[in-house]
Structure 1
Amino acid sequence: MQKGKTPVTLYLLLVLVMASWGLNVTATKILVAHFPPITMTAFRIFTAAIVVFIFLIAIGKFRLPTRRELGYIVAGSLFNIFIHHYFLASGLTMTSGTNGGLILGIGPVLTAILAVIFLREAISAGQLIGLVAGLLGVSIVVLTGGQGLSGISLGDIYVFIAILSQCFSFIIIKRIAGTLDTRLMTAYMLLIGSVLLFFTSLIKEPDGLAQMSGHSVSMWALFLVSAVCATAFGNLIYNFAVGQIGPSKTAIFMNLNPFFSLIGAALFLNEQISWMQILGFILIIIGVVLGSGALTELLRTRNKVRDPEKILDE
């Protein structure tokens, strides 16, 4: 891949990842109604780690990390897996869906701010417009579909800690991406994070292991789909994109989560989608196209097709 250029396929893969994450919200709502949340999450992430390790061994990318790389991996595990999932699971039980959705919606903005501070990334005018449009779109989608905005609560603080820790983990991933394959880092992060969550579940959910048994085949099938598609390959592709195009541009795609979440809720939970939410979806898509740089890449690809000599020149 040439520096400064990103294959359109990577953007399409990120859209698919957001689809899997958005639909996984519906799957998670179903799973936590049958499994203990923290214990189930630990097992789901551990399953994802095994899948990613098998994939990396198959393509010849597995190796042991150096001592320096291990430090980044442990830090990434703490922020991306343990702190994020623990505070998100706890916070969403103590706040409204509207508040939680709005706080999660500031993820791309937080990531962009952290990228400027720690990575000295420059924010273009198009990217800034995309960030604002995406945030506005997420706000419309969440506010018109929720139970109304409520006052700040401890749950809101927990959700903010969850999204802030995840955004900071993207900075850590980008910092080490030059020497450590982000796909390999993802595997180690999932493994270490799942172990930390498991020991936490032993304290928070003493009967968690016992409650994991006795469920239907269809419920375990949903668990595996969530673990493999959303957690394993979702994190694998997303973290790879962070290393390729940077955390702020990749995070723009997170705005698509509410879009696919509502589609999942409409398809499987019989929830209604309003016209205002459709307007929000349009703003989200505009924000993603402008903020991620996808429009520039699409125009560049289109110009290459029209003028084949440009391909030879490059």
Structure 2
Amino acid sequence: MNSIGTQLLLIGTMAVWGLNISAIKVLTDYFDPMVIACFRMVLAAAVIDMSLVWSRRPVKLLRISAGQWLRFVLCAAFLVYGNQVFFTSGMHAASATNSSLIMALSPLVASALAALVFRESLTGIRLLGIALGFGGVFAVVFGSQDAALSGPGRGDLQVFCSMLSFVVGGMLIQTLARQFNALVITSIVYTLGAALLCLHLFVSGTAGLGLSVLLAPGAWPWLLMVFSGIIATAMCNVLWNRAIAELGVARTSLYQYWIPVFGVGFAMLLLGEPFTVWHGVGLLGILLGTYLGTRRPVALAARARA
């Protein structure tokens, strides 16, 4: 596929991810957060595993060392399990608008953590970007007078932890990328993550798992569940990985700026959520902060062009 086609697919992917935030918000009115997380990831893992089988790519599980399996489990624990537990629980209290803006911090947090782990220099511009980004989230979460960690603020904090868990998992997965194909990594990580969520659901004894109770909400919530698990999670992640292979991770990550735009738009259009002055201040701070905070140092950029 040509570069323009890939870019259009990426914008479409960002639109689906923005819509998915509103879909999860609606689902929390019908199901327990752990039920949502478990069913979504099981659906996603099944589709990704079928894609791997369809590709006929050999997967030599017995040749994976104990150390590599440990890294796979850690990746699954952060990228899938922790991410989904925090996200679905947080969405029960947080608004889709706030969640969209908080998730926009992902590239900025990834850049800051990478600088710390790989000992990149944090320039004044990047530090300013980090301050602006987190200041934007602060404005969004605590801008209203009734914000508190016991209410909506707690949900926002859980969504932030979800984003942080996803970023940490993404950094861990880089250690496996040099040894395994991207589709193989995605299949193993999502399968392990779905298994961890199912184990959590079983051990916690979450109420409402009876067939009659699960079917009580009707067809519409389950259609949303299928959309979220298969289209928004499985298919969009495959497209995302394909875009990284064609455009590179640096160019591809820039498209994440569209997530809060679509997320806030769908929240206002479909859920009727308000967009306040504080949301505008937060959006500006997050986008500007992410742009400044993810810029490469001039010396590194010049070296990459040479």
TM-score by length of 2: 0.72
AA partner of residue 37 (structure 1): P
State the alpha-carbon separation in 1 of the partners of residues 181 and 126 from structure 2.
Answer: 27
CA 1:150 to 1:40, structure 2 compared with 1: closer, same or farther past 3 Å? closer
SS of aligned partner of 1:165:
helix
Unaligned runs of 5+ in 2: 296-306
CA deviation vs aligned residue, 1:134-164 (integer Å, no higher than 9, x gap): 66666667777x6764358765654443322
SS of aligned partner of 2:179:
coil
Asked if the contact 1:128/1:291 (under 8 Å) is kept, the reply is yes
Displacement of 1:95: 6.5
CA 1:69 to 1:62, structure 2 compared with 1: closer, same or farther past 3 Å? farther
Displacement of 1:234: 2.5
AA partner of residue 32 (structure 2): P
CA deviation vs aligned residue, 1:19-70 (integer Å, no higher than 9, x gap): 2121011111222222232112211111111111222332334524423543
Asked if the contact 1:101/1:142 (under 8 Å) is kept, the reply is no
CA 1:218 to 1:156, structure 2 compared with 1: closer, same or farther past 3 Å? closer
Q: Percentage identity across aligned positions?
A: 27
In structure 1, the residue matched to 2:20 is 24
Asked if the contact 2:109/2:164 (under 8 Å) is kept, the reply is yes
State the alpha-carbon separation in 2 of the partners of residues 46 and 81 from structure 1.
Answer: 11
CA deviation vs aligned residue, 1:207-264 (integer Å, no higher than 9, x gap): 3244322443333222211111111123333455667744x77555444332212211
In structure 2, the residue matched to 1:309 is none
SS of aligned partner of 2:215:
coil
Q: Which stretch shifts more, 180-189 or 205-214? A: 205-214
In structure 1, the residue matched to 2:233 is 231
Displacement of 1:266: 2.5
In structure 1, the residue matched to 2:197 is 197
Asked if the contact 1:84/1:162 (under 8 Å) is kept, the reply is yes
Displacement of 1:111: 1.0
State the alpha-carbon separation in 2 of the partners of residues 253 and 177 from structure 1.
Answer: 22
CA 1:134 to 1:274, structure 2 compared with 1: closer, same or farther past 3 Å? same
In structure 1, the residue matched to 2:299 is none
State the alpha-carbon separation in 1 of the partners of residues 259 and 189 from structure 2.
Answer: 22
Unaligned runs of 5+ in 1: 1-5, 294-314
In structure 1, the residue matched to 2:207 is 206
CA 1:230 to 1:102, structure 2 compared with 1: closer, same or farther past 3 Å? closer
Structure 2 counterparts to residues 230-269 of structure 1, below 5 A: 230-239=232-241, 245-246=248-249, 253-269=255-271
AA partner of residue 36 (structure 1): D
Superposed CA RMSD in Å reads 4.1
Asked if the contact 2:141/2:156 (under 8 Å) is kept, the reply is no
| 1:51 equivalent among 42, 47, 50 | 47
Asked if the contact 1:241/1:250 (under 8 Å) is kept, the reply is yes
Displacement of 1:13: 3.9
| 1:60 equivalent among 56, 63, 73 | 56
Asked if the contact 1:252/1:288 (under 8 Å) is kept, the reply is no
AA partner of residue 88 (structure 1): F
Asked if the contact 2:101/2:286 (under 8 Å) is kept, the reply is no
Asked if the contact 2:76/2:192 (under 8 Å) is kept, the reply is yes
Displacement of 1:170: 1.0
- State the aligned residue count: 288
State the alpha-carbon separation in 2 of the partners of residues 198 and 291 from structure 1.
Answer: 37
CA 1:40 to 1:227, structure 2 compared with 1: closer, same or farther past 3 Å? same
In structure 1, the residue matched to 2:107 is 108
Displacement of 1:166: 1.2
Q: Confirm whether residue 165 of structure 1 aligns to residue 165 of structure 2.
A: yes
Displacement of 1:115: 1.3
Asked if the contact 1:170/1:242 (under 8 Å) is kept, the reply is no
State the alpha-carbon separation in 2 of the partners of residues 196 and 177 from structure 1.
Answer: 22
Asked if the contact 1:118/1:171 (under 8 Å) is kept, the reply is no
Q: Confirm whether residue 176 of structure 1 aligns to residue 176 of structure 2.
A: yes
State the alpha-carbon separation in 2 of the partners of residues 290 and 127 from structure 1.
Answer: 6
AA partner of residue 70 (structure 2): G
State the alpha-carbon separation in 2 of the partners of residues 251 and 201 from structure 1.
Answer: 33
